[in-house]
Amino acid sequence: MKKLNIMVVVASCLLLSGGEALSDPFQTQAREDYAKALKLKPNVESGKHVYRLCAVCHGPEGWGSQDGYYPEIAGQLRTVLIKQLADIRDRNRDNPTMFPFTQPRMLGGIQEIADVAAYVAKLPMDPNNGVGPGFDLDLGRQLYKDNCVKCHGKQGEGNKEDHIPQIRGQHFRYLVRQFEWIRNGRRRNADPKMVKQIRRFTSRDVRAVMDYVARLGPPPEKRAEPGWKNPDFPKYVRHGHFGVR
Ligand code: HEC
Ligand code: HEC
């Protein structure tokens, strides 16, 4: 009887640890694709071609929409773009709107991911990204300093080695929404340490810190000139979201 008990314990330990190792096939696939894409030499010309697909939603400049539905992706770190594309494509981050466009039939293979990421990373950023109401910036600055700097950097510049997103200059409403999704677990690829760190934020805290981050804006070397339009898309008809800024 005793022997049987031990066997049951051993068997369940094996099952549990096995279950853990194989826990998330989506995550495993996304990690593989990320690693593969990073090793490829990107072709920016091909990336421009692929980007036609993305322009429909993110806009020809890659600036997204101030209402926060479409994020700005222009000027994002290359490693972050690759990570997010791989996560979305391999269902490690739920994005039903964009998902079909990331599939092999539309986007192509891992080379195309590397190419489009290199193209997008070089696009200059929106000089007029969406910001919040602006009345809680001291609180925002303090919260940012105490809770975010160590990962996202002093200026919200992110970290390319650890594929931590640049968040400065992103639209306020998108930042708030992602933050809430990260906190409540809707964004599955979230960083567990970050989730822990921000658990106790009130909704005032969230708005304050995101307003501060949005207002950090793009750095001078990544900022587009006022009125800049992407010359790669001379005939693009801007409509819908991009008209309402
Ligand atoms: C049909 C619309 C659509 C198309 C086409 C599309 N996207 Fe997206 N994309 C979205 C939406 C919506 C989100 C935000 C999803 C969310 O809120 O989590 C997003 C998010 C992203 C993100 C994550 C940004 C972040 O900071 O969190 C990246 C990177 C991205 N898209 C790149 C691309 C690229 C590159 C292409 C072209 C290959 C593309 N997208 C095509 C709609 C689209
Ligand atoms: C322990 C490190 C860490 C800390 C601390 C942290 N973050 Fe993050 N954050 C990350 C990582 C890593 C990601 C990207 C996760 C992924 O791969 O999707 C992220 C993603 C985000 C995103 C989504 C960005 C996008 O483009 O989709 C926002 C917004 C964000 N963080 C804001 C903050 C703010 C504000 C704070 C401080 C209150 C903070 N983070 C603290 C590591 C951290």
- Structure confidence by residue, pLDDT tens digits, 207-216: 999 999 999 9
Q: Report pLDDT for 3.
A: 55
Query: What is the CA(10)–ligand 2 centre distance, in A?
Result: 39
The mean pLDDT of the chain is 90
For ligand 2, the distance from its centroid to the CA atom of residue 148, given in whole angstroms, is: 8
Asked if 92 and 49 count as a contact pair (C-beta separation under 8 A), the reply is no
The 10 Å Cβ neighbour count of residue 231 is: 7
Percent of the chain scoring above 90 in pLDDT: 80
Using pLDDT thresholds of 50, 70 and 90, give the confidence band for residue 204: very high
Any ligand 1 atom below 6 A from CB of 97: yes
pLDDT tens digit sequence for 44-92: 999 999 999 999 999 999 999 999 999 999 999 999 999 999 999 999 9
Q: Whose CA is nearest to atom 41 of ligand 2?
A: 148
- Of 233, 188, 222, 196, nearest to 75 by C-alpha is 222
Virtual torsion, Cα 56, 60, 61, 67, nearest 10 deg: -30
Average pLDDT over residues 120-136: 97
Measured from the alpha carbon of residue 106, the closest ligand is: 1
pLDDT at 242: 52
The torsion defined by the Cα of 149, 154, 158 and 160, in degrees rounded to 10, comes to -110
- The ligand placed nearest to the CA atom of residue 175 is 2
Q: Give the number of the ligand closest to the Cα of residue 96.
A: 1
pLDDT score of 16 more than 70: no
Model pLDDT for residues 209-236, shown as the tens digit of each residue: 999 999 999 999 999 999 999 999 988 8
Amino acid at 34: Y
- Is 198 within 8 Å of 183 (Cβ atoms)? yes
How many angstroms separate the CA atoms of 76 and 64, rounded?
A: 12
Q: Is 147 in the pocket of ligand 2 (CB under 6 A)?
A: yes
| 240 pLDDT above the threshold of 90 | no
Q: What percent of the chain has pLDDT over 70?
A: 88
Phi, psi (degrees; rounded to nearest 5) at 225: -65, 150
Measured in degrees and rounded to the nearest 5, phi and psi for residue 7 equal -65, -40
| Distance in Å, CA 92 to ligand 1 centroid | 14
Task: Give the ligand whose atoms come closest to the C-alpha of residue 193.
Answer: 2
> What is d(CA 241, CA 70) in angstroms, rounded to the nearest whole number?
9
pLDDT at 234: 86
How many Cβ atoms are within 10 Å of 32's Cβ, its own excluded? 13
Take atom 5 of ligand 1 and give the residue whose Cα is closest. 54
Q: Using a 6 Å cutoff on CB, does residue 77 contact ligand 1?
A: no
Give the distance (Å) from ligand 1 centre to CA of residue 96: 10
Q: Separation of 164 CA from ligand 2 center, angstroms? A: 7
Q: What is the mean pLDDT of the segment spanning 13-40? A: 76
